[in-house]
Amino acid sequence: MKRRQQMWTWAGILFLLATGVIHLVAAPDAFQEAAYKGWLFYANSAGALLAAIGIYARQRLAWFLGLAVTFGAIAGYVASRTIGLPMIPPEPNAWFEPLGVLSLVAEFGFMIIMFLAWRNRQV
């Protein structure tokens, strides 16, 4: 594997693992709001781990799974703070919760890495 390709691969894996760990840590609190939200957090963690393993194994589709996981997490974050989620009212004052911001950094980081790797034909 070329050095640059290794850089994209490891950066993508690390951003996905960060996303997964953050959602795994936050899942118990999410269950207190609504059970489905807690399960979605666990699903995010599992999807992020599966995508990271796939990227390590050089499976091209794993990058797209990672994109779906990160995009879904960002969409949920924005929806939960603007229009709310089913059975959960909007939380407009929660934009800057530390775990949420850290998660956004990891998710957008993965998207940027994927774009750069794709642009350089490494994905």
> What's the predicted TM-score (pTM) here?
0.92
Average pLDDT in the 15-41 region? 97
What SS3 state is found at 26? helix
Dist CA 21 CA 48 (whole Å): 9
Q: Give the whole-angstrom CA distance, residue 28 versus residue 114.
A: 30
Contact residues for 56 (Cβ-Cβ < 8 A; gap 6+): 9, 13
Task: For residue range 42-57, list pLDDT tens digits in order.
Answer: 999 999 999 999 999 9
Supply 4's token pair.
């640059």
The Cα 41–Cα 22 span in angstroms is: 9
- In this prediction, residue 5 carries a pLDDT of 80
